[in-house]
Structure 1
Amino acid sequence: MTASLLNVLTAQPSYGPALRQLICELAVTGRLLPQTSTWTEFRLEEIVSVRGGSTPSMARPEYWGGDVPWVSPKDMHAGDIVTSEMFITQEALAKTNLDLIPLGSVLIVGRSGILKRKLPAQVTRVACTINQDIKALTPKSAIESAYLRLWLLGSERAILAEDVKTGTTVQSLVFAKLFARRVRLPSTAEQHRIVAKVNELMALCDQLEAEQADVQAAHTRLVEALLASLTQARDAADFRASWKQLAEHFHTLFTTEASVDALKQTVLQLGIAGRLVPQDEAEEPAEALLTRIATHKADKAAQRRARKSVAVSGQAGASTSIEPPTGWRWTTFGDATICRDGERVPVSQVERESRAKVYDYYGASGVIDKIDRYLFNKPLLLIGEDGANLINRSTPIAFIARGKYWVNNHAHVIDGVSEDLLKYLEIYVNAIDLKPYVTGTAQPKMNQAKLNSIRLALPPEAEQRRIVAKVDELVGLCDRLKLSISEARQHHELLASVLVEDAVA
């Protein structure tokens, strides 16, 4: 294994599995250690005995809860087989066609979606039984169990590419192809030496991955600390000092997609704190905007015959660390917006399947389907009402829908005095922590009353436009930076793959 190949493989933490794969492939092709014996070729079926398994009837409680391990694909993780999630009784063993698998057998998964990317293979260290999706390969005298497992791992790429078929739901091994594979075997003594060397190198891989994980964790903590120094700056001078410190180390800090995502979130937070653009005291203050909003809402209410509202008074809501600049005004989300949730109409998936696919159909996280009619025909702010995304924030919570579209009952529909206000509110909702407004854990939900109680720092209308423009500019830069990082990683992985192919060719 050349130093240049090692450098390429160890430069990316995500390429640890490829390094392990390379070690296994070199080992079973005789290129990891000098060969000290003649290697003899066999078909796999000549050097192992094969056993299958089954599932005892779940309707027979006397078959379950005993002391005999019953191994299924969900037990196939890492290391050796020493236990299982489920156990059968001695009665099940006696009255069904299940056999005890001898110690030292190698279990492989024969049917599972995991065969898209991996061939699980583990050595049994306890007598056990297996289900129908597992095969047990018991070595004959020519091959040791640890070396058999190593051979399977070293042949994994070829087996997955050539011996796996895709069914209607999952992948499965074509055992006729697998058992016909040619296996080159060294002497038993040399097998032991090769396995020992592989174990030594795998321990080094463990150490390398642990060190990389420590470096990544330290990098993440550093990024978080420096970004926090921006959002927590006491005044303009403190903010400039923090920004200078971050700017000096920008190319060192923002080298991963996760760090760029953290930077994007900080941009949103700085935008709603009034620290991305200058304030202009000559501009109309937010107080005047709130007056227009109140008038606008009153007019709309009159037009809709005084539709009921769940808005709360202007000083309610959870506390926030944001101290808005002069000219801004504290209010609540409900006081600044018009909620149009009453116009939403959910349509079941079954019904949508029978309707023409013309207009976007929105759910909590964006467009989820098309439908033949529309409910709305103007830009409106949609905010996810329920789902795990309220907590984990894997995609934006708030987004603006445009054109003609339909919205189901999993997204709040928000109107405002202008589209500029909606764009600012989109940034605001995506910037703040929504946990104080979310109820439920199994199914998180932010109902209309909670949404309306969000405390809102509202800048003057002209400043809103500047904030939105600056955030769009900086987020665009972040997206381009993230794309370049992703492309560099893909290029690195392609290079590593080519080098691995060359190394084992």
Structure 2
Amino acid sequence: MNADRLLTLYDRVADAPDAVARLRRLVLDLAVRGKLVEQDPNDEPASELLKRIAAEKARLVKAGALKAERKPKEPSAPLELFDLPIGWAWTNLQSICLSISDGDHQPPPKSENGVPFLVISDVRTKTINYDAARKVPQEYFDGLDPIRKPQSRDLLYTLVGSFGIPVPIRSDEPFCIQRHIGILRPTKQVDVEVLAIFLESEFAFRQAEAAATGIAQKTVPLAGLRAMALPLPPVAEQRRIVAKVDELMTLLDRLEAARSSREATRDRLTAATLARLTAPEMDAEALADHARFALDALPALTTRADQIKPLRQSILNLAVRGKLMPQDPTDEPASELLKRIDAERMRLLMARLVPRQKAPSTDSEREFAPLPIGWNSVALGDVINFVTSGSRGWAEYYSDSGPYFIRAQNIRFGRLLLDDLAHVEPPSNSEGSRTQVARGDLLIVITGAGVTNPAVLEKDIGEAYVSQHVGLVRPTDPAISEWLLLCLLADCGARRELVERAYGAGRPGLNLDNIRSLTIPLPPLAEQHRIVAKVEALMALCDRLEAALTDADTARARLLDALIHEALEPEAEQEVAA
């Protein structure tokens, strides 16, 4: 593997979601397998290196400078070894280290001055953050066993939680560590940098994962670390591997930075393009020009599925501002629609078919951009029969069959999920009928993680009720339900106001007056229907674009898989090419 080959791979898969991360892993895997640099038959074989290491350790044990070692335990899970290049040898971590230990198991005393005491968060980025570390007294540090005092050319290795992170020590600055970090002290005949490369590889991580114990928080025991199998190259090749990994990782750093800069520029251009479409001061002619530009530019700027979300919001904002479709001067104005709604609400109220509702307390400072001719600004409470929520204590009424029960989890942003509805046998009193839904009802999550999520019941599903976490809004005229949903979805409609009220203070949640008093724009009924139909068509287009981008990501990921397999298994090259 060389820089040209890596660039060729990158050019073919650059837009895969995790291309750089996976190519980093590829570099490490090639290094571990001896496929990153060429072997030199003149290099002293690793078997001779292992003999010298064993002799050195025996001498240190005899001199009392090193404790005698027990034979490391066999791995609990069978390990799949791969064929090594000529001159390499299999060994284990204990055989090439003078000691493998961890930090002191006793909580150290705190001090304003003294020696840095590192925890896992101080080394998680594969560098040592001395500045952020707390301090322990110098006398505590002086009393530690020498093998628990990290020193230059040691290797730290995280053992708990975020385990498997190797961090070479390149400084002589004194510090100590918590027990959740291991200290590996390789012999001077093993390059600590190549050891870090190998321990960062997928091959080493799988062994650590297999040895880890615990449920809530996994811990790699020192015994498992000592038994870890490692391929050992000749000393000269170790240096060549370190140099090549440094070269390729630097190249990947540059590629990643260039990609991040490119994506940030795309995001800024996309945001600016969409922002111009929803600028409140824009006239019809300017809007048409910007819309044409957006249609031409967005396909080139939109390369990720996550970029479709702001496009959808822009469509909704244009819709509720009356800028998605031209107005028809022959449409009956919204004021006439409001008169009919008022008359129908009064009739239902006089007949005691709907409850008397509290008058909506609208925000007097809430104003829309200038509305088109024929539109009105109204409170949601002015166009609905009532807003209510489900009752508490319905858990006892759950059953395996019977009427449906709509819960917050069934309501997503603009969608009602009907394939996972619970069933209930409701109480016979009026409390049950109060929360029964009907076709055309709006449903809004009023508590919990999905608070403010709206949906509309588009079809008759039979007898069904809502839970206490769902607000039920019944429009006086079901013909405006889809329009009201657009308003609850669009930031320029009522969504921004809804979110501000839900998250205004304390625990997120909505009360019924928060919903009743929302300010919404109301177009003529005929125009509502035209806008809703256009939005549905554009959202279907967004769905197809999102699916195409997702498929493209999948295809690039598969290509990356094939290229990585080809790099690791050159004999499969012809099969991949076919």
Q: Provide TM-score, normalisation by structure 1.
A: 0.82
Select the residue among 271, 275, 287 that pairs with 2:335: 287
Distance 1:29 1:44, change over 3 A: same
1:123 maps to 2:168: yes
CA distance in 2, matches of 1:5, 1:173: 35
How many percent identity over aligned positions?
A: 26
Match of 1:464 in 2: 528
Secondary structure of the residue aligned to 1:382 is strand
1:416 maps to 2:500: no
1:180 maps to 2:227: yes
1:243 maps to 2:288: no
1:337 maps to 2:384: yes
Match of 1:428 in 2: 487
Query: Which structure has the larger Rg over C-alpha atoms?
Result: 2
Distance 1:478 1:39, change over 3 A: farther
CA distance in 2, matches of 1:121, 1:357: 53
- Once the two structures are superposed, the pairs formed by residues 6-405 of structure 1 within 5 Å of their partners are 6-12=10-16, 14-36=18-40, 37-40=43-46, 41=89, 42-48=91-97, 49-53=99-103, 56=106, 63-64=109-110, 67-83=114-130, 100-103=148-151, 104-112=153-161, 114=162, 119-124=164-169, 125=171, 127-156=174-203, 159=206, 163=210, 168-173=215-220, 179-188=226-235, 190-232=237-279, 234-302=282-350, 303=352, 307-312=356-361, 316-321=364-369, 323-341=370-388, 343-346=389-392, 355-356=398-399, 359-363=404-408, 366=412, 370=422, 372-373=424-425, 375-379=435-439, 380-385=441-446, 397-401=453-457, 403=461, 404-405=463-464
Once the two structures are superposed, what CA deviation does each residue of 1:341-371 show, in whole Å capped at 9, x if it has no partner?
3x422459xx57x944654442285479845
Q: CA deviation at 1:260?
A: 1.6
Distance 1:488 1:412, change over 3 A: same
Q: Provide TM-score, normalisation by structure 2.
A: 0.73
Select the residue among 486, 489, 494 that pairs with 2:553: 489
Select the residue among 489, 499, 504 that pairs with 2:563: 499
Secondary structure of the residue aligned to 2:14 is helix
Q: CA deviation at 1:485?
A: 0.6
Once the two structures are superposed, what CA deviation does each residue of 1:424-477 show, in whole Å capped at 9, x if it has no partner?
111111111335545436644454434333321101222222222221121122
In structure 2, give the amino acid aligned to 1:376: Q
Root mean square deviation of aligned Cα: 3.6
Once the two structures are superposed, what CA deviation does each residue of 1:37-56 show, in whole Å capped at 9, x if it has no partner?
34522222211222134664
Q: Structure 1: state its 5+ residue gaps.
A: 391-395
CA distance in 1, matches of 2:144, 2:438: 66
Distance 1:466 1:357, change over 3 A: farther
Distance 1:406 1:198, change over 3 A: farther
On the 8 A contact 2:443/2:471 being kept in 1, the answer is: yes
Bigger Cα displacement from structure 2, 324-333 vs 156-165: 156-165
CA distance in 2, matches of 1:278, 1:473: 16
CA distance in 2, matches of 1:94, 1:378: 76
On the 8 A contact 1:286/1:329 being kept in 2, the answer is: yes
CA distance in 1, matches of 2:238, 2:505: 52
Q: CA deviation at 1:271?
A: 1.4
State how many pairs are aligned.
486
Once the two structures are superposed, what CA deviation does each residue of 1:39-98 show, in whole Å capped at 9, x if it has no partner?
5222222112221346646xxxx8345645444444442132233655555687799999
On the 8 A contact 1:9/1:15 being kept in 2, the answer is: yes
Distance 1:94 1:412, change over 3 A: farther
Secondary structure of the residue aligned to 2:358 is coil
